[in-house]
Structure 1
């Protein structure tokens, strides 16, 4: 498809913008920006990833990115997107070609000005989106290596959100809002059980994972039957009472109805938390 495409612009050693038959392409391949130059054609066997640019609003916004953001930043962004698509086995929403370089550019400027980067949802994102977070960790290393900087791990969470948003085609704000609500529930659990749960601990990850899976089932209308519900109500009265309060918060945050069966499973998990504390 891109045989004999002519390079219009070299973004970095591995990424170029090329043209063929009035169509623009972003081409990614090891060393193609080093071995070839503007006006050269690239043999197809050197190209690993192709992104065709079309006359859409996103692509018009990409033109603005090209005009206002350093080529190295755009280049590393395209490498990160290519890596993400390979690791995930799917194509990401085209919007990430605009949003990711814009975000990385802003991040590097904050580092230059020594503005501290903090992500209050880092541990939640690790648990909610482990695959995206793993890719984001590799992306952060690529950015730090390329620009000889030391951006902290907090930034991994923000990159994770960009990747997640590009998978689901929802805006980043949707996932940030969801994560914020999950954190709200976790804080309530800590308050109701009368102790803090270390956010980087296994019990925090287990509790968050259980809460998230429960919520996914409720949102999809696929809740499961709890055959031990009556026993749970009788044997774990304190935990069941706490579970009801947590369920009410979930209902308020997500505008859903939490079934008694799910409240029962939540009570079991709260009992497990209590047992872990006493071990």
Structure 2
């Protein structure tokens, strides 16, 4: 936004206000004490705003308005710090809706715990196995929650934080994080079983592979697979690394069996590229 200030159109609490961007579209502003002592019509310097959320539709805006009005600011602060942890440690950028969705989740989780209710997560082992680094960050989030609220949430709640992390990658919020995580698990298992290796969960190439699988699963779910003409990438990689063909075929079979779709050579080429990068990194580690 070119302007140096935002004008408050509605005050929610000390940390959340409504305003408008340069196009006149309503936005939700998040920032430490940006609403303290303020009223409608007051200006807020842009450099005091931590995050700006732009809703996609009027219906979504109404839903989010009701949601943020009911969330205590302590949970907004916690969600902001946990989101910042992910972004700093993983050198990534999550979309701003994570702040809202995670705030709401933490609020409900703390309430449930005080009522003596723990909500188990059936895919926690898969989360720990596929995302050990990210899960460790989520566990640090539980420490922050305990420090601020005095409530110690169960390890399952770190898994739920992870699902919010998965759902908030990309441009918008998705509700199919569990589906995408199980897809990632199947594909990682294919590679490890075919090559009889254990992929390095902390390597850059592994995380790039997960990111690619994340968006591939989303495209499959949304029926938006590439329909571009065949790519040369797959043929070139198979010529250089012939054993990749069997692994890619296994991945293709998994996709077809579970989702009744076929991927073209362009999609296969991207898979082959990521797998080849991971294998080269493993061979390099073992040769040192």
| TM-score when normalising by structure 2 | 0.56
1:227-266 equivalences under 5 Å are 227-228=239-240, 232=243, 244-253=249-258, 255-257=261-263
Q: CA deviation at 1:268?
A: 11
In the alignment, does 2:17 pair up with 1:17?
yes
Say if 2:174 is the partner of 1:168: no
Q: Deviations over 1:140-195 (max 9, x none)?
A: 5544433233333334412312421xx2325231x4322212213444566778x8
Residue equivalent to 1:70 = 72
Within 5 Å, give how 1:112-127 maps onto structure 2: 112=114, 113-115=116-118, 117-118=120-121, 119-123=124-128, 126=131
User: Does the 8 Å CA contact 2:167/2:173 hold for their aligned counterparts?
Assistant: no
The 5 Å alignment of 1:88-237 reads: 92=95, 95-96=97-98, 98-112=100-114, 113-115=116-118, 117-118=120-121, 119-123=124-128, 126=131, 142-151=144-153, 152=155, 153-164=158-169, 167-169=170-172, 171-173=174-176, 175-187=177-189, 202=200, 223-224=233-234, 225=236, 226-228=238-240, 232=243
Does the 8 Å contact 1:28/1:49 carry over to 2? Answer: yes
Match of 1:236 in 2: none
- Structure 2 residues without counterparts, runs of 5 or longer: 217-224
Kept in 2, the 8 Å contact 1:5–1:41? The answer is: yes
Give the Cα separation in 1 of the matches to 2:10 and 2:93: 26
**Which structure 1 residue ranges, 5 or more long, are not aligned?**
233-238
Change (3 A) 1:38 1:72: farther
What is the count of residue pairs matched by the alignment? 252
1:194-235 deviation per Cα after TM superposition (whole angstroms, max 9, x unaligned): x896xxx73797996696588689x656543122456x4xxx
Give the alignment's TM-score, normalised by structure 1.
0.57
Larger-gyration structure (1/2): 1
